Amino acid sequence: MTTTSRVALQNADLPAKISTSPQTPGAPRRSAGKIDPTYYWMIVPVLALFAFFITLPALVGFFFSLTNYAGYGDWKFVGIANYVNIFKDPAVLQSYVFTFLFALTTTVVVNVVALAIALGLNARIKWRTGIRTVFFIPMVLSGLIVSFVFNYLFSNTLPVLAERFGITPLTSSILANENWAWLAIVLVTVWQAAPGATIIYLAGLQSVPSEVYEAAGMDGAGTWRQFRSLTLPLIMGYLVINVILGFKGFLGTYEIIVGLTGGGPGMVTQSVAMRIFSGFTGGDYAYQMANAVIYFVITLLISVIQLRLIQRRGVSL
């Protein structure tokens, strides 16, 4: 056999020798399919805490929703009587109507305002960084503190100014008006929630290449045409995220309503969350726990629908 043939045979055996060579000294040996114990040390404590603070209280609450427990004293099973009575309770149904209308209205207004602010802050304007800081201040303030401040403005400052300028409908506090109290809640919520949505829109606007607008300008597209045909489609994923996160968050509104109206006048601005919490301390524990279970199922269904929409848009949260 020639020397060339011997070299070829040796080279042919080389991969097999390399593949069967021992591992590098000091490297950990891990069989296929075996999970590193470190993962258990990280996951098990989290699962235990979640089960203790979330799952267990939820199961206990569901158990008591099948009783007549008032939050103290004795109790007995009543089956699904609480659930049946909830669907017959006009006060509970009114809180659901208000909560969903509030969440829908506020979601629309917040996204319109946030997108307009983001477009302005993304433009080449003077003192852009400082202006951005001013717009984002409401986001870091407590909702309860903000609501107390606006409560004073709506109840004292605004009526005085309205009386001075002759605006008769505003001479009394709108928080005491059944027809306008909800509007005050929407305005304050938008004031605090818009900065968070603005940050997401700014991230989307800055991801759009400037060359796209330069090419559109050369083709004669105006500002409105560029926004409708370029900007909006390119940031649609960010719009979907803002709508979904906003609507889900506004369904659980509580702090701002407590600070502004306390659910009044009467109960026209009482949200589902307020009604549930009021039952826990008002001797209506089991009844409102059943209400909480129903509300959980509704929000869960909404979340599933929202996830489907996200998957269709190809957006990842």
**Amino acid at position 47, single letter:** L
Boundaries of every domain in the chain: 90-313
**Model-level pTM?**
0.80
Distance CA 46, CA 307 (A): 24
Structural contact between residues 270 and 262, judged by C-beta atoms closer than 8 angstroms: no
Q: How far does the chain reach from its first CA to its final CA, in angstroms?
A: 66
Q: What is the pLDDT along the chain (317 residues), one digit of tens a residue?
A: 444 444 444 454 444 444 444 454 544 555 556 778 888 888 999 999 999 998 999 999 899 999 998 888 888 999 899 999 999 999 999 999 999 999 999 999 999 999 998 988 887 766 766 777 777 788 778 888 899 999 999 989 989 998 888 888 788 888 988 888 999 999 999 999 999 999 999 989 888 888 888 888 888 888 888 888 888 888 888 898 899 889 988 998 898 999 999 888 888 999 999 998 887 777 788 999 999 999 999 998 988 888 887 777 665 55
Q: Which residues contact 299 (CB under 8 A, 6 or more apart)?
A: 248, 251
CATH, range 90-313? 1.10.3720.10
